[in-house]
Amino acid sequence: SPKMMKRVIGGTPNKCPERYRHRTPLYHLERLKAPVLIIHGERDENVSIEHAWRLERRLKQLGKPVTAWYFPEFTHYFPPQANRETVQRLTEWMKQQPTM
């Protein structure tokens, strides 16, 4: 929301483009070494699913290791039970990644 953008970032992308560029991971992915796990509720209104898709697409273009879990039924909020299960799964995912 515009209010949140002003509070967190200081203004809209039109007013502060350099701040948004700095906060956008898409411009720093070349340096990334760690595998990435994207977890996103497809009904999220805080952060559009489009952001997750763009991130996944760019990581794949760069040949970076990426795994994506999309949840069509969830928004930005994961109910407690689903949250617990997702945390258990992501912990297992982390344990399976090669050590750096």
Same domain, 25 and 41: no
Say what the pLDDT of residue 82 is. Answer: 97
pTM of the predicted model as reported, rounded to 2 decimal places? 0.75
Same domain, 26 and 39: no
Asked if residue 86 lies in contact with residue 55, where contact means CB atoms within 8 angstroms, the answer is no
What is the pLDDT averaged over residues 36-61? Answer: 94
Number of domains making up the chain: 2
Same domain, 44 and 83: yes
Gyration radius (Cα) of the chain, Å: 15
Q: Which residues pair with 37 in a beta bridge?
A: 67
> Which residues span the domain enclosing 5?
1-30
pLDDT tens, position by position, 49-100: 999 999 999 999 999 999 999 999 999 999 999 999 999 999 999 999 987 6
Say what the pLDDT of residue 99 is. Answer: 77
CA separation for the pair 48, 1 (Å, rounded): 11
Say what the pLDDT of residue 69 is. Answer: 98
Closest CA to 46 of 1, 92, 99: 1
Q: Which residues pair with 69 in a beta bridge?
A: 39
